[in-house]
Amino acid sequence: MVILSVDIGKARTGLAVCDKSMFLASPLLVIDDRCRENVINKVAQIAGKKQAQRIVVGLPRNMDGSEGESAVSAREFAQMLSGITDIPVVLYDERCTTMIAHRYLNDSNTRGKKRKKTIDAAAAAIILQSYIDYLRNSNTDQEIKEAKT
């Protein structure tokens, strides 16, 4: 099953994708647009081109699990996206993903403009890999497990 993930930011939105085997998430691209409608339309178009069967939108919860303004915004984004595509849209906890992405980019010595252009896609890949790992380790989504065989 091909899954597309979305890391929503105020200025940039990162996307990542996995292949049909759901083995590994890879950064795809960053949408550099502040207009929510434009971003939603671009995500829907890219999901269609990639033949995604599910879209995972990162849900930015606080460390205590509560939800703030960013989480409300992510929920609205996911709802609007599901309104324009037939692809199922799910929310998935993204706590610490940007921090982990920064650590990865530090380890690879990625700096400056290149870092700015890749951090959001890297965070989307971390969200997606975490989601894939969750599915692999749970029995709650038999549909996914059957799609892999």
| Average pLDDT in the chain | 82
Q: How confident is the model at residue 93 (pLDDT cuts 50, 70, 90)?
A: confident
* Model pTM score: 0.81
- Give the bridge partners for 14, in sequence order: 7, 30
Query: Cβ distance 55 to 81 under 8 Å?
Result: yes
Domain 3-148 has CATH 1.10.357.10: no
Instruction: Please give the pLDDT value at position 148.
Output: 43
Q: How confident is the model at residue 60 (pLDDT cuts 50, 70, 90)?
A: confident
CB burial readout 81-97, b (16+ within 10 A) else e: bbeebebebebbbbbeb
Q: How confident is the model at residue 97 (pLDDT cuts 50, 70, 90)?
A: low
